[in-house]
């Protein structure tokens, strides 16, 4: 191993974002359903949000000059890593309560792990972020674990 992960960097494991709250609107459900080719009436009418609706709901809205070279906004939850080229490493999603028009959803993200592996072309850093989304009743709506790889 190359030892890219310092104790200071690893101390970020467990860091949590501030809660972010969004209101689900019938119009937004309908727009998402149409854009993603949904065919079920409950989605097209905006009664219930289809799977993956939550993915962009909590993203920052920023202007283009505030995006990284990869086209994503800078994530304040993450520390500065010694490697910067990001790749998708995996996504695990579990669904709980259904998302309905009028729901108020709150998401909290936690940096749950940082680890290093040796790849064919050199060291790789992996990090995992868990996002949990709850409705106003406190019911878990979505649990999403994202793994990213840096090289």
Quick: pLDDT tens for 71-127. Answer: 777 788 999 999 988 899 999 999 999 999 999 999 999 999 999 999 898 999 999
- Per DSSP, the three-state class of 87 is strand
Geometric angle at alpha carbon 104, from 98 and 107, rounded to 5° = 85
User: Which has more confidence, 7 or 72?
Assistant: 7
Is residue 67 very low, low, confident or very high in pLDDT (cuts 50, 70, 90)? confident
Q: What is the pLDDT of residue 69?
A: 74
Domain boundaries in the chain? Answer: 7-150
Contact (CB, 8 A) for 82 and 48: no
Geometric angle at alpha carbon 127, from 11 and 76, rounded to 5° = 70
The residue-averaged pLDDT of 137-148 equals 97
The residue-averaged pLDDT of 12-16 equals 97
Alpha helix stretches (DSSP H) within 7-121:
7-10, 26-35, 41-44
Q: What is the pLDDT of residue 77?
A: 92
Is residue 1 very low, low, confident or very high in pLDDT (cuts 50, 70, 90)? very low
CATH for the 7-150 domain, from 3.40.50.2300, 3.40.50.450, 3.40.1030.10, 3.10.129.10: 3.10.129.10
Q: How far is CA 20 from CA 38, 87, 95, 109, 134, in A?
A: 27, 25, 19, 9, 11
Q: What is the DSSP letter of 25?
A: -
Q: What is the pLDDT of residue 4?
A: 92
Tens-digit pLDDT profile for residues 15-40: 999 999 999 999 999 999 999 999 99
């Amino acid at each position: 191993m190359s030892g890219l992960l310092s104790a200071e960097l690893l101390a970020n494991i467990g860091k949590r974002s501030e809660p972010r709250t969004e209101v689900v609107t019938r119009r937004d459900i309908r727009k998402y359903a149409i854009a993603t080719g949904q065919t079920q009436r409950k989605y097209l009418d905006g009664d219930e949000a289809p799977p993956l609706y939550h993915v962009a709901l909590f993203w920052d809205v920023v202007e283009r000059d505030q995006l990284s070279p990869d086209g994503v906004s800078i994530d304040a939850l993450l520390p500065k890593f010694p490697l910067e080229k990001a790749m998708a490493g995996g996504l695990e999603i579990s669904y709980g309560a259904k998302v309905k028009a009028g729901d108020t959803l709150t998401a909290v993200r936690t940096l749950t792990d940082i680890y290093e592996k040796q790849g064919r072309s050199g060291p790789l850093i992996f990090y995992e972020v868990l996002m949990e989304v709850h409705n106003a009743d406190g019911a878990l709506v979505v649990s999403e674990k994202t793994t990213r790889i840096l090289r």
